[in-house]
Structure 1
Amino acid sequence: MNTNDIIGTIGVGLILIAYFLNIFSWIKKDGVLFFVLNIIGASIACYASVLIRFWPFIILEGTWAIVSVIGLLKTIKKPQE
């Protein structure tokens, strides 16, 4: 396993952890932790894809990170219930 693989595995791992925690209701799907794990994970996976110049995953992970940032901002701005 080379450095690119390790970086990508860490990024994808964080995304999968967020998904796993959400599926088992250990974190909220609109919670800050869910979005933060997705932002960090997708950004790291996107970086790994840039290192190997694999455009489909650069686009996928970059979009995932951007959408997660938007979700985080909406959650932070939402009035507390």
Structure 2
Amino acid sequence: MSQAVQIIGSLLVLSAFVLSQRGVLKQDSLPYIVLNLVGSGALAVEAALGAQWGFLLLEGVWAIVSAFGLVTLLRARALAARSR
């Protein structure tokens, strides 16, 4: 199961990156942020369970940054909706 979670998490993060590089997703779009958050979050949990501290640092920070990006995006959307 651990390998499957790692592969799926990696594919989510990599797909966001590839789609961004191809101009399909913007880096401040909801799908891009969610792909990064879910993928890096899953990888961070796997790293913590496996006591892989360097990998946990990388993916944990990636997940935290993605979570802040999601909160920022959702707040901006809520503010825009209120001002209509």
TM-score band w.r.t. shorter chain: 0.7 to 0.9
The within-5 A match list for 1:9-28 is 9-28=7-26
Aligned 1:25-40 pairs, distance under 5 A: 25-40=23-38
TM superposition shift of 1:72: 1.2
Q: How many pairs align?
A: 78
Q: TM-score, normalised by structure 2?
A: 0.84
Q: Give CA-to-partner distance per residue, 1:19-69, whole Å, 9 cap, x none.
A: 011111111110011100000000111111122210111111111001001
In angstroms, what is the RMSD of aligned CA positions? Answer: 1.3
Tell me the residue number matched to 1:76.
74
Ranges in structure 1 where 5+ consecutive residues have no aligned partner: none
Q: How much has 1:5 moved relative to structure 2?
A: 2.0
Which residue pairs with 2:43 in the alignment?
A: 45
| Identity over aligned pairs, percent | 32
Q: Structure 2, unaligned stretches of length 5 or more? A: none
Runs of 4+ deviating beyond 3 Å: none
